[in-house]
Amino acid sequence: MSEEFPDDLPDGIPEEHAERARELQMQLLALRAQLESANFENKEAYRRKINEKEGELEALKRS
């Protein structure tokens, strides 16, 4: 895996959303690893799921 476990919260995440942000970071890490080894038919599904989780993480920054 090219990335390590994210120890720090992304910039702009309020402390009250820290736990959910860390969960999302772990899910994104796993999804990106799965994307690398996915077959052609599944790659788009992984990309959509990654975009969804990244969007949720961005929403936490705005709340």
Interatomic CA distance for residues 51 and 36, integer angstroms: 15
pLDDT in tens, 1-59: 445 666 677 788 988 999 999 999 999 999 999 999 999 999 999 999 999 999 999 99
What is the per-residue pLDDT for 4? 61
Query: Residues, the chain, total?
Result: 63
Contact (Cβ atoms closer than 8 angstroms) between residue 26 and residue 5: yes
The whole-number pLDDT of residue 1 equals: 42
Domain extents in the chain? 15-62
Our measurement of the distance from residue 56's CA atom to the centroid of its chain's CA atoms, rounded to an integer in Å, reads 9
Which residue, among 13, 1, 2, 8, has the nearest Cα to 56 in the 3D structure? 13
Sign (positive or negative) of CA dihedral 23, 18, 4, 33: positive
